[in-house]
Amino acid sequence: MGSLSSETVESPPAPVRLVLVAVVASFVLLFCGRCASAQNGPETRLFSQGAQANLDRNFPDANISYLLMDATGQVIAERWTPPANSEHAVVYPGSLVKPFLAIAYGEQHGGVFPTVRCLGAKTHCWLPAGHGSLGLEEAVAQSCNAYFLEIAAHLERKRAQQTLLHYGLLGPASGASNENLIGLGTGWRESPLALARAYIELERQHHNATQSRIVKGMLESAARGTAREVDAALGDDAALAKTGTAVCSHTPQGVADGFTVVLYPAMQPRLLLLLRIHGVTGAKSARVAGAMLRSLGAGRR
């Protein structure tokens, strides 16, 4: 076949180029597992360009901030104000810290976790009617405040701080209350990059007993818990997810910031999405998180 000269081949219009890049990005996500592990290779750069163009086009709302990362913790696409790698990019992470609190508890109590009866408002849970009796997996899936307040009350703080540092997290301020330990209030601030990479590290350790139970809870969260809108968009048992509703860190301050972290696919994650939406709950942000990954070609065909 003869070659075509540059005079006979015209570049497609800009809108068409964006569509083509997005299509290629979806192809890479669906069929090339290597792109998540090939650092700075051409496939990774192509996927990054396509993913950024796709998300900018389909999710332009200024209230949406996100980090899309590969399994190594490299940023593929992002929109965060101020930039996520800035020293000024700190957030109140809300319930996203609960899994790491559970890891600290497991280390201090031989991996043995209690069953806790959640009575709703009486036990300071976000669900007025309460969750009833639940163990660790269900507590992660439902983000039960009562459960995590119970384990926070039985933590040795200095040892817990060392556990958090292992995951790259600063942890709560000195003298933080049990409520602050589970992500309530303003006593715990983290960078979005640190939060995202901590979840990647957590999943890497899924063969460990406590981490395995937390990962199962995240699987249940995406399927039928607070993050159920993720699997509603992507398909049954498609992802691992955790939601968080936090004190708003914007100026002017809104009623809340809703967070969702998703690792996709569930069985061998290649992507992590950390999403924050100004003015909504974590459960509501889960719907957008599922839609964002779906737009990149993830989920059921």
Positions of the chain with pLDDT lower than 70, given as ranges: 1-41, 86-87, 300-301
Q: Is residue 261 in some structural domain?
A: yes
Q: In the prediction, which pLDDT does 40 show? A: 60
Q: Is residue 234 in some structural domain?
A: yes
Q: In the prediction, which pLDDT does 6 show? A: 30
Strand-by-strand arrangement of the 257-264 sheet: 75-79, 64-70, 271-278, 257-264, 240-246
- Domain CATH number, residue 172: 3.40.710.10
Q: In the prediction, which pLDDT does 49 show? A: 92
Q: In the prediction, which pLDDT does 250 show? A: 74
**pLDDT tens figures, 19-73:** 444 443 444 454 334 444 445 667 778 889 999 999 999 999 999 999 999 999 9
Q: Is residue 39 in some structural domain?
A: no
Q: Is residue 52 in some structural domain?
A: no
Which pair of tokens denotes residue 46? Answer: 């192509």
Q: In the prediction, which pLDDT does 22 show? A: 44
Query: Is the peptide bond prior to 172 cis by the omega test (within 30 degrees of 0)?
Result: no
**pLDDT tens figures, 172-196:** 988 899 999 999 999 999 999 999 9
Range of the domain at 261: 59-295
Q: In the prediction, which pLDDT does 121 show? A: 95
How many domains does the chain contain in total?
Answer: 1
Q: In the prediction, which pLDDT does 53 show? A: 96
Q: In the prediction, which pLDDT does 13 show? A: 52
Phi, psi of 240 (to 5 degrees): -105, 140
Q: Is residue 103 in some structural domain?
A: yes
Amino acid making up residue 221:
S
* Pairwise CA distance, residues 261 & 255, whole Å: 20
